[in-house]
Structure 1
Amino acid sequence: MSFSQGDPFGRGGAGGSGGSGGSTPDWAALAEESERKRASKRRWLMIGGGALATVAVAGIVAVAVVSENGDPEDKPSQSLPTPEDLPSSPPQPEPTFEKELPPAPPQDYLKNPEKDKAPLDTGTLFPDTTITVNGREYTREAVDSTKKCTASAQGDLGPVLEKNDCREMFRATFVRDGLAFTLGIAVFDSEKDASAVKSGYEPNVESLSGGDVPTYCRTVVCRTTVNSLGRYGLFTISGHTDGKPAGDDDEPAKQVAVDGSNYGYSRLIDRGERQAAADASAG
């Protein structure tokens, strides 16, 4: 198929409008060509549409992936589990304190006659023939007890004991290197009575002789102490067994008197502790 250069649509030249001198267009060929172009265009559109569809699918997939595996900031915040969410722990045995509680303080027994029921005699108060106090060793030489407390007192101590209803007096004498002390432990009905005797104290318990200890501290100056614990009063008198006075500057005699008081105090604490421990074991 050929066209004249003067008319792209196959018409005649400028001299005529389609006269016998120009060529006639091949309409069938033109229709065929037009159809071929339209088919080609539809094919490219279909290919392009398919590409767009593929991109859209890929985009959807990508969005889905990001939604599941995005940054932690895009995820919902996670709260700590509540106590109800936690697994329950296995049951634990209930603690028992029946045998584990510490015993009551010894003073609880020493001040209460209803609880202070242990045997009370020279054997329980002064059980040892040899004692050591602060590294110093003493030998027991004599023991004594009486329910007439004034009989074991001298000076103005007797009236003080009687006024506060002293029930019994226990005494023991210990000796070391020519120095002796007599420890007196008086028993009262209450802590109040024992404290009153300590406050109104006047010397003193009478020294007790026996064994290798002669009568001492009767007519010369000696050293004395007084104390109370619970319903008990404690008294000591100390001096030289050869009759030498124990004046204010006699430090050895003072030390012996203090050792005697400390020994008596420790014996009472031991008494209270034993009773408290026995009750704790029985309870």
Structure 2
Amino acid sequence: MSNGQGGPGPQQWDPWKPQSQQPDAVAPQPWSQGGTGGPQGPDWEALAEASAAKNRRRRIVAAAVAAVVVAGGAVTAVLLTRGGDSPAPNGGSTASVSSGTPSFDPTSAPPPLDPEEILADSRKDTAPLEADGLFPGKAGQKLPLGKAQYVKGPSAQTTDCASAAQHTLPKVLNDNGCTKLLRATYTRDGVAVTVGVAVFDTAEDATAARGQADRSAIIEPLAGKGVKPFCDGAVCRTTINSYGRYAYFTITGFTDGKNVTPQAKKAFDAGDHLAHYAFQQIHRRGEAQATAAPAS
């Protein structure tokens, strides 16, 4: 039996050949209809759209797979940087992120030692204490204090505190248990200042001595090594204060023997500078011991 043009048998269906017959078992394909109503050939536009749709589905699937891989990589990175478990093969995690957070036992560093606490008690304030250590430098060496330059003169120390004090101060020192008195003299532009530091066992003793000292409680001016005697019968200016277990004093006068008057700004400034210097040196002593002390 022939179909169409006829032939020795059934003609093999070929969708790409015009007039070929489609078997009944084959699903219909897109065709373009000719003007006579018979099949004219494949619908090339429909086939192109079908192919494009298939390609789009492939791209969507590929993108979804890539997204899963990227997401898995991101989880892996987070877990590794936080010390978590290894990620599962599918890109997930066998443990939550929070479970990988390391834990540490609570610790606390000991608080730093307080220099003033050390300076308050001779049992803690045990560093060597000498006049040349508290007032460093050789005689003739300059000491800058602010914008001023002072020249160091003689220095001295004694365990007989009363021997280096005048008027009412010897009794004050003895009554409160002074164990050592250190002195040094500095000069500048015709002004001489002797600064003295009295050492006690406790801060309470030093505070009591400061409170008991009146205007007549003065230390002995220290001359020598290029410094002429001063405050010998002349009016001089004195100061007193305390810090920790130390009471510190100054006596300031003119090297030419003139009296110090309230208008003598140079003399007042010099006494204030050296009094503050004594405070600084005592505080540095406390800081050095606080830094060197082992942590408890």
Q: TM-score range by the shorter chain?
A: 0.5 to 0.7
2:101 equivalent among 75, 90, 106: 90
C-alpha distance after superposition, 1:161-213 (max 9, x if no partner) = 11111111000001111111101000011111100111111320111001221
Residue in structure 2 matched with residue 135 of structure 1 by the alignment = 147
Counterparts of residues 94-105 of structure 1 (less than 5 Å): 98=109, 103-105=112-114
1:279 pairs with 2:283: no
Specify the SS of the correspondent of 2:98.
Answer: coil
Q: Distance in 2 between matches of 1:165 and 1:121?
A: 18
More helix per residue: 1 or 2? Answer: 1
1:107 pairs with 2:116: yes
In our comparison, the structure showing a higher alpha carbon Rg is 1
Q: CA deviation at 1:87?
A: 2.3
Q: Distance in 1 between matches of 2:243 and 2:177?
A: 16
Counterparts of residues 62-73 of structure 1 (less than 5 Å): none
Q: Distance in 2 between matches of 1:97 and 1:137?
A: 46
Q: Distance in 2 between matches of 1:263 and 1:143?
A: 15
Specify the SS of the correspondent of 1:88.
Answer: helix
Counterparts of residues 199-214 of structure 1 (less than 5 Å): 199-202=211-214, 203-214=217-228
C-alpha distance after superposition, 1:232-273 (max 9, x if no partner) = 000000111111111222111111111111010000000000
User: Which blocks of at least 5 consecutive residues in structure 1 are unaligned?
Assistant: 1-84
The alignment covers a number of residue pairs equal to: 197
Residue in structure 1 matched with residue 31 of structure 2 by the alignment = none
Residue in structure 2 matched with residue 118 of structure 1 by the alignment = 127
Q: CA deviation at 1:103?
A: 2.9
Q: Distance in 1 between matches of 2:162 and 2:190?
A: 28
Residue in structure 1 matched with residue 230 of structure 2 by the alignment = 216
Q: CA RMSD, aligned part only?
A: 2.0
Q: Distance in 2 between matches of 1:183 and 1:114?
A: 25
Seen in structure 2, the aligned counterparts of structure 1 residues 194 and 86 have a Cα distance that, compared at 3 Å, is same
Residue in structure 2 matched with residue 58 of structure 1 by the alignment = none
Specify the SS of the correspondent of 2:270.
Answer: helix
Tell me which of the two structures has the higher relative contact order, counting C-alpha pairs closer than 8 angstroms and 6 or more residues apart: 1
Counterparts of residues 117-266 of structure 1 (less than 5 Å): 117-128=126-137, 129-202=141-214, 203-266=217-280
The amino acid that maps onto 2:194 is T
Q: Distance in 1 between matches of 2:106 and 2:151?
A: 49
Specify the SS of the correspondent of 2:293.
Answer: helix
Contact 2:164-2:220 at 8 Å conserved across structures:
yes
Q: CA deviation at 1:218?
A: 2.1
Seen in structure 2, the aligned counterparts of structure 1 residues 88 and 108 have a Cα distance that, compared at 3 Å, is same
Q: Distance in 1 between matches of 2:239 and 2:106?
A: 48
Give the TM-score of the pair, scaled to structure 1: 0.65
C-alpha distance after superposition, 1:104-140 (max 9, x if no partner) = 2211111111110101001220113432222211111
Contact 2:132-2:155 at 8 Å conserved across structures:
no
Q: CA deviation at 1:92?
A: 4.5
C-alpha distance after superposition, 1:40-59 (max 9, x if no partner) = xxxxxxxxxxxxxxxxxxxx
Specify the SS of the correspondent of 2:288.
Answer: helix
Contact 2:218-2:249 at 8 Å conserved across structures:
yes
